[in-house]
């Protein structure tokens, strides 16, 4: 083998050795082996002087090129090893181009689904959807709905009244009114009747507030869906037919239902509607109240400037939580508000 071939072979061998190391210590050993003072290459460099003149230059140049080559490879291998060590210490750097992990994937909240289902059934029956404010006045919440001044619901222990200073803007003329968080969605009946001349059919769903102690069936904030239908000839049979259709469509099957005489200041006659539930979890065969309803009281028409003899209407108010509990078989209303993904995932 010529001197040049031997050097080329040495170079290949050294490059392979550098490539194969996996630690800084091993790299240092390879460096000593191929470029250290006792290495073949260095020894040859020292003995250059003994070569014939014409070889001195070429061999010298070859050795230097190989030396530079090896040094470069040692340096880049050293960097690669250092990077690898750092990665092991820190873990992989985050890749900003990756899609973010989905931590919480839940369907619409069961109360939202229940509300949407209710509203879609009533719109099939020709009701329009309207909305009303959650902060309202005593007049909309009670007076216009024929609720007497001494009614217990108007008590501060039942209703959240708001301090006047928090509600009355400097431009408002209504400085004398008591503001409150609405205790029911029946307020929307009044707002609708003031804005639209009958005949009309509306539903409104939203949040209501009462000073209730929280337990398995009560919360200080819950949801209602209110309905109002007014024309010159609306009667009790229309109310019953509407509720009957609703229950069938909502639960996907007919339920025995009954209108039980009750009292609400804004309807006359008034009823509570019960449905007969054969079995619900641990509860067996029972009538469960699902809504209050009745024929609109003439005083309510009068309060909004309509002739109570000319117009007739029915109204109803459902508790959304109550229906959701029946639909999904949930026995504690508090579960709706805990924001627990394990619960919310089921719907």
* Smaller CB separation from ligand DAH, 179 or 264: 264
User: If binding is defined by CB under 6 A, does position 294 make contact with ligand DAH?
Assistant: yes
User: If binding is defined by CB under 6 A, does position 59 make contact with ligand DAH?
Assistant: no
User: If binding is defined by CB under 6 A, does position 316 make contact with ligand DAH?
Assistant: yes
Tell me the closest approach of the beta carbon of residue 302 to ligand DAH, in angstroms. 17
CA 259 to CA 243: how far, in whole Å?
A: 10
Pair type for strands 161-162 and 257-264: unpaired
Among 110, 132, 129, CA closest to 121? 129
Tell me the closest approach of the beta carbon of residue 130 to ligand DAH, in angstroms. 14
**Residue where the block lists tokens 């009614």:** 151
Size of the site for ligand DAH (CB under 6 A): 11
What's the angle, vertex CA 207, arms to CA 226 and CA 249, rounded to 5? Answer: 45
Among 23, 31, 27, CA closest to 84? 23
* Smaller CB separation from ligand DAH, 14 or 315: 315
Task: Mark the segment that binds ligand DAH (CB under 6 A) among 13-21, 135-143, 274-282, 313-321.
Answer: 313-321
Q: Where are the beta strands (DSSP E) in the chain?
A: 128-129, 135-137, 161-162, 179-181, 200-209, 221-231, 257-264, 267-280, 283-296, 312-319
Q: Which of 222, 264, 311, 336: binder of ligand DAH (CB under 6 A)?
A: 264
For the chain, how many residues are written? 347
* Smaller CB separation from ligand DAH, 21 or 259: 259
Q: Which of 73, 114, 146, 186: binder of ligand DAH (CB under 6 A)?
A: 186
Q: Binding string to ligand DAH for residues 144 to 183, with x set by CB under 6 A, is what? A: ----------------------------------------
Assigned token pair, 276: 């007969």
* Smaller CB separation from ligand DAH, 62 or 299: 299
Tell me the closest approach of the beta carbon of residue 259 to ligand DAH, in angstroms. 11
Q: Which of 293, 320, 325, 330: binder of ligand DAH (CB under 6 A)?
A: 293
User: If binding is defined by CB under 6 A, does position 292 make contact with ligand DAH?
Assistant: yes
Residue 135, C-beta contacts closer than 8 angstroms, at least 6 positions apart: 162, 167, 179, 180, 181, 182
Task: Mark the segment that binds ligand DAH (CB under 6 A) among 280-288, 298-306, 314-322, 338-346.
Answer: 314-322
Task: Mark the segment that binds ligand DAH (CB under 6 A) among 29-37, 49-57, 99-107, 289-297.
Answer: 289-297
Task: Check if the beta carbon of residue 65 is closer than 8 Å to that of residue 9.
Answer: no
Q: Which of 115, 184, 191, 322: binder of ligand DAH (CB under 6 A)?
A: 184
User: If binding is defined by CB under 6 A, does position 317 make contact with ligand DAH?
Assistant: yes
CA 198 to CA 195: how far, in whole Å?
A: 10
Q: How far is CA 145 from CA 45, 96, 346, in A?
A: 109, 59, 39
User: If binding is defined by CB under 6 A, does position 239 make contact with ligand DAH?
Assistant: no
User: If binding is defined by CB under 6 A, does position 198 make contact with ligand DAH?
Assistant: no
Phi, psi of 186 (to 5 degrees): -65, -20
Q: How far is CA 123 from CA 118, 127, 195, 274, in A?
A: 9, 5, 20, 23
Residues that bind ligand DAH (CB under 6 A): 184, 186, 226, 264, 267, 292-294, 315-317
């Amino acid at each position: 083998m010529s001197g040049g071939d031997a050097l080329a072979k040495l170079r290949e061998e050294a490059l392979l050795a550098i490539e194969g190391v996996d630690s800084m210590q091993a790299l240092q050993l390879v460096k000593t082996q191929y470029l250290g003072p006792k290495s073949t290459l260095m020894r040859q460099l020292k003995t250059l002087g003994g070569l014939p003149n014409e070889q001195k230059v070429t061999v010298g140049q070859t050795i230097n090129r190989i030396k530079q080559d090896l040094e470069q490879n040692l340096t880049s291998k050293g960097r690669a090893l250092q990077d690898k060590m750092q990665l092991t210490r820190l873990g992989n750097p985050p890749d900003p181009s990756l899609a973010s992990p989905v931590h919480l994937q839940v369907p619409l909240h069961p109360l939202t689904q229940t509300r949407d289902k209710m509203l879609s059934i009533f719109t099939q029956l020709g009701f329009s959807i309207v909305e009303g404010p959650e902060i309202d006045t005593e007049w909309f919440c009670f007076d216009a709905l024929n609720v007497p001044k001494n009614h217990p619901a108007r008590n501060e222990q039942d209703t959240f009244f708001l301090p006047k200073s928090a509600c009355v803007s400097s431009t408002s003329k209504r400085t004398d009114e008591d503001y409150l968080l609405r205790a029911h969605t029946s307020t929307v009946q009044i707002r609708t009747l003031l804005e639209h001349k009958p005949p009309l059919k509306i539903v409104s769903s939203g949040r209501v507030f009462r000073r209730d102690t929280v337990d398995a069936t009560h919360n200080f904030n819950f949801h209602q869906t209110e309905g109002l239908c007014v024309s010159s000839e609306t009667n009790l049979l229309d109310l019953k037919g509407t509720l009957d259709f609703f229950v069938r469509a909502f639960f996907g099957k007919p339920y025995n239902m009954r209108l039980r005489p009750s009292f609400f200041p804004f309807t006359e006659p008034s009823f509570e509607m019960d449905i007969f539930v054969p079995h619900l979890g641990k509860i067996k065969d029972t009538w469960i109240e699902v809504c209050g309803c009745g024929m609109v009281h003439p005083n309510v028409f009068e309060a909004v400037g309509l002739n109570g003899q000319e117009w007739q209407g029915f109204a109803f108010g459902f508790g959304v939580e109550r229906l959701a509990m029946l639909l999904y078989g949930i026995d504690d209303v508090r579960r709706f508000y805990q924001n627990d993904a394990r619960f919310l995932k089921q719907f």
